[in-house]
């Protein structure tokens, strides 16, 4: 019997994602990949996986997954309301996130809602036994490639596992939630900032912008003050990098994300610093942001600092107790008493 996770109730928009399909934009293939690469990397590290192992990106509401393996180690990272049904007929018991869990055959993991964010992640030790497309398991649903048949998960799907059972070792957890930072989203001007007037650039950098309902893995359309163009709203189509901020004729910015198109014909006023891209991947409609210009050198320093903080977070993983409290098996293995002294009272 092959080891797998079975979807017994589908979520809202759950896809398999790794760190992206790199090197094929010249062929018109978007990178796709995780919206929040930090959370995916931490989930993989908790499972002992390489950073680029594909995991499940949970969009707003996650699935219910039946464990069809002798055992599997999973890790949940992000603000999820997860729970576990340990046996048929049993009530769900809440389980912690930002940690790994050892699950057994027949249990049902209810991934739950993502609270206060748009994405969270589930990784499994060893990863999923699915064929890559162009070197990646990242799902690009618009083209129907990658992941599981190039689409979001549906009820009845089987996600085959690489490992028939969980690797030995203890469960681990983050010592504290990862700090994504707060305040304005940092941007670098360009590559077509000259297509906008000075007043337009000041409007963009000095105004609040609200996430509209038109927000998905392709990009986020923001609502707020219109940005004034200086040379019109059309350019000869050129390449679009992650976090590019297009401004069409209506003057409202669109930040392009993981599933962005490879080229576009609207001028790009700025590009989001790579360290802040995971923050954009967590935004929900209605949330308000500001944009703050920084230099290329400052953006590079922000990314180096983020990478160092990720490594420190991984280095500070702690042993995690099983659901319900004390692990008696591990407790009995410890040498808690190294001697006994008897005292006999004087007659």
Structure tokens that stand for 272 in this block? 């989001």
Distances (CA, A) of 192 to 109, 206, 227: 47, 19, 13
Between CA 22 and CA 309, with CA 278 as vertex, the angle to 5 degrees is 100
Residue with tokens 């991934």: 111
- Give buried/exposed letters for 96-129 (b at 16+ CB in 10 A, else e): ebbbbbbbeeebbbbbbbbeebbbbbbbbbbbbe
Structure tokens that stand for 229 in this block? 């163009």
Per-residue pLDDT at 328: 45
Per-residue pLDDT at 219: 96
Statement to judge: residues 137 and 26 lie in one domain: yes
Distances (CA, A) of 263 to 11, 239, 266, 327: 31, 4, 10, 54
Last residue of a domain, one of 121, 150, 178: 178
Last residue of a domain, one of 178, 212, 228: 178
Per-residue pLDDT at 118: 85
In a domain, 61, yes or no: yes
* Number of domains composing the chain: 2
Statement to judge: residues 12 and 55 lie in one domain: yes
Cis peptide before 241 (omega within 30 of 0): no
Residue by residue, pLDDT tens for the chain (347 residues) are: 589 999 999 999 999 999 999 999 999 999 999 999 999 999 999 999 999 999 999 998 999 999 999 999 999 999 999 999 998 888 999 999 999 999 999 999 999 999 988 899 999 999 999 999 999 999 999 999 999 999 999 999 999 999 999 999 999 999 999 999 999 999 999 999 999 999 999 999 999 999 999 999 999 999 999 999 999 999 999 999 999 999 999 999 999 999 999 999 999 999 999 999 999 989 999 999 999 999 999 999 999 999 999 999 999 999 997 655 444 444 444 455 444 444 555 55
Per-residue pLDDT at 323: 56
Q: Which domain holds residue 29?
A: 4-178
Helices (H), the chain: 37-47, 198-206, 277-280, 296-315, 328-333
Statement to judge: residues 163 and 49 lie in one domain: yes
Statement to judge: residues 147 and 237 lie in one domain: no
Cβ distance 265 to 233 under 8 Å? no
Predicted TM-score of the model (pTM): 0.90
């Amino acid at each position: 019997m092959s080891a797998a996770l079975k979807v017994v109730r589908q979520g809202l928009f759950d896809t398999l994602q790794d760190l992206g399909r790199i090197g094929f934009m010249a062929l018109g293939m978007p990178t796709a990949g995780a919206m929040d690469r930090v959370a995916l990397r931490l989930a993989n590290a908790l499972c002992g996986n390489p950073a680029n192992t594909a995991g499940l990106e949970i969009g707003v509401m996650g699935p219910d997954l039946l464990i069809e393996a002798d055992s599997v180690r999973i890790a949940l990272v992000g603000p999820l309301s997860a729970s576990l049904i340990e046996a048929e007929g049993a009530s769900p018991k809440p389980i912690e996130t930002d940690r790994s869990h050892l699950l057994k055959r027949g249990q049902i993991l209810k991934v739950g809602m993502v609270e206060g964010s748009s994405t969270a992640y589930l990784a499994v030790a060893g990863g999923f036994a699915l064929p890559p497309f162009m070197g990646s398991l990242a799902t690009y649903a618009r083209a129907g490639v990658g992941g599981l048949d190039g689409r979001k998960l549906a009820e009845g799907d089987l996600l085959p596992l690489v490992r028939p059972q969980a690797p030995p070792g203890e469960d681990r957890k983050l010592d504290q939630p990862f700090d994504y930072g707060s305040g304005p989203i940092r941007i670098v001007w360009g590559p077509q900032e000259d297509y906008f007037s000075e007043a337009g650039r000041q409007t963009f950098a000095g105004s609040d912008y609200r996430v509209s309902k038109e927000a998905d893995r392709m990009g986020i359309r923001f609502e707020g003050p219109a940005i004034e163009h200086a040379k019109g709203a059309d350019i000869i189509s050129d390449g679009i990098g992650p976090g590019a901020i297009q401004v069409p004729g209506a003057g409202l910015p669109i930040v392009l994300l993981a599933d962005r198109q490879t080229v576009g014909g609207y001028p790009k006023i700025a590009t989001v610093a790579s360290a802040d891209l995971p923050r954009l991947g967590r935004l929900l409609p209605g949330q308000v942001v500001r944009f703050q210009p920084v230099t290329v050198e400052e953006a590079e320093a922000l990314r180096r600092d983020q990478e160092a903080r990720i490594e420190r977070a991984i280095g500070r993983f702690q042993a995690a107790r099983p659901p319900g409290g004390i692990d008696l098996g591990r407790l009995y293995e410890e040498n808690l008493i190294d001697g006994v002294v008897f005292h006999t009272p004087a007659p």
